[in-house]
């Protein structure tokens, strides 16, 4: 389920490092963060049918010969929403939010609907690391808050990719077996942590709405590394079935970040 994967070769071994997002350019120096009551996310509901509206963009695995997860705007239940379809595929739909600091009390809100689940997933294992639906937040946490090994790996990845890869990623996922509320680390990298918010098939074909306390969830996932909420780099909606070879179909309504 991870967002992009980079091989880092050392003199003794090759390490599989999972990193979170290919930003178009590295940030050569820090900029003042922006803080306000709401963060700008282009809605799906006001978009034309077809491709997702800018600045949403599809991000695939670098140099990977894999089918792309399909994202498009379609009308359903009287509203335009994002359709997300996997077929042994991988991709994310990314909305950049560089250097934005959520205001105190910011909540993440979205609704989604899963019509066809992935049956063979197991987020605890690499071979089962797929998700039929996910919403992820990518954070620019200071590197000094990471452990020495992870700090050096991330620096190496940024150097090789010439991109400002995020240092912390929090994903909300619809899983097939794990219970809602489950928190776990990604099977490829501890820099991505996941909270299961929906599970199984009981709510298939139904819209499910979520409101999450961003600071509380970040503290639960990364509290041992940071007592405060770092700046955001991006938000993404995604689904992948490249590890399990499955197929899935889901829909996502507007995603908002606001008090």
Task: Give the pLDDT of residue 146.
Answer: 63
Candidates 88, 76, 86; CA nearest to 45 is 76
Which residues of the chain are under the pLDDT cut of 70?
1-39, 63, 142-152, 154-164
Contacts of residue 114, defined as CB under 8 A and 6 or more positions apart, other chains included, come to 132, 133, 174, 198, 203, 204, 205, 248, 249, 250
Domains of the chain, each with CATH number or no CATH: 4-21+36-258 (2.60.120.430)
Candidates 23, 24, 20, 22; CA nearest to 1 is 20
The region, left, alpha or beta by phi > 0 then psi within -120 to 50, assigned to residue 204 is: beta
**257 vs 96, 183, 207, 254, CA distance in Å?**
13, 21, 19, 10
Task: Give the pLDDT of residue 254.
Answer: 98
Q: Tell me the per-residue pLDDT of 87-103, one tens digit each, with 9 for 90 and over.
A: 999 999 999 998 788 88
Task: Give the pLDDT of residue 65.
Answer: 84
Task: Give the pLDDT of residue 103.
Answer: 83
Task: Give the pLDDT of residue 149.
Answer: 63
Output 23-29 pairs: Cβ under 8 A, ≥24 positions apart: 23/96, 23/98, 23/163, 23/164, 23/165, 23/233, 23/234, 24/163, 25/163, 25/164, 26/158, 26/162, 26/163, 26/164, 27/98, 27/99, 27/164
Candidates 239, 244, 254, 206; CA nearest to 93 is 239
Task: Give the pLDDT of residue 7.
Answer: 30
Task: Give the pLDDT of residue 191.
Answer: 83
Tell me which H or E stretch contains 258.
strand 256-258
pTM of the shown model = 0.84
């Amino acid at each position: 389920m991870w967002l992009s994967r980079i091989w880092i070769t050392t003199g003794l071994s090759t390490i599989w490092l999972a990193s979170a997002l290919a930003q178009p350019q590295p940030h050569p120096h820090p900029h003042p963060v922006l803080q306000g009551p709401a963060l700008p996310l282009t809605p799906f509901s006001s978009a034309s049918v077809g491709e997702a509206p800018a600045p949403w963009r599809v991000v695939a695995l670098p140099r990977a010969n894999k089918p792309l997860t399909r994202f498009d705007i379609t009308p359903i239940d009287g509203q335009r929403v994002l359709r997300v379809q996997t077929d042994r595929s991988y991709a994310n739909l990314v909305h950049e939010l560089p250097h934005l600091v959520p205001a105190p009390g910011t909540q993440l809100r979205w609704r989604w609907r899963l019509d066809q689940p992935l049956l063979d997933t197991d987020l605890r294992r690499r071979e089962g690391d797929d998700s039929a639906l996910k919403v992820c937040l990518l954070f620019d946490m200071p590197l000094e808050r990471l452990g020495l090994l992870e700090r050096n790996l991330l620096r190496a990845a940024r150097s090789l990719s010439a991109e400002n890869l995020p240092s912390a990623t929090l994903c909300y996922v619809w899983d097939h077996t794990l219970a809602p509320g489950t928190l776990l680390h990604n099977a490829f990298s501890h820099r991505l942590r996941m909270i299961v918010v929906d599970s199984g098939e009981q709510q298939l074909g139904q819209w499910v709405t979520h409101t999450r306390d961003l600071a509380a969830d970040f503290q639960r996932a990364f509290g041992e590394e940071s007592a405060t909420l770092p700046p955001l780099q991006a938000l993404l909606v995604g689904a992948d079935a490249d590890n399990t070879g499955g197929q899935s179909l889901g829909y996502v309504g507007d995603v908002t970040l606001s008090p």
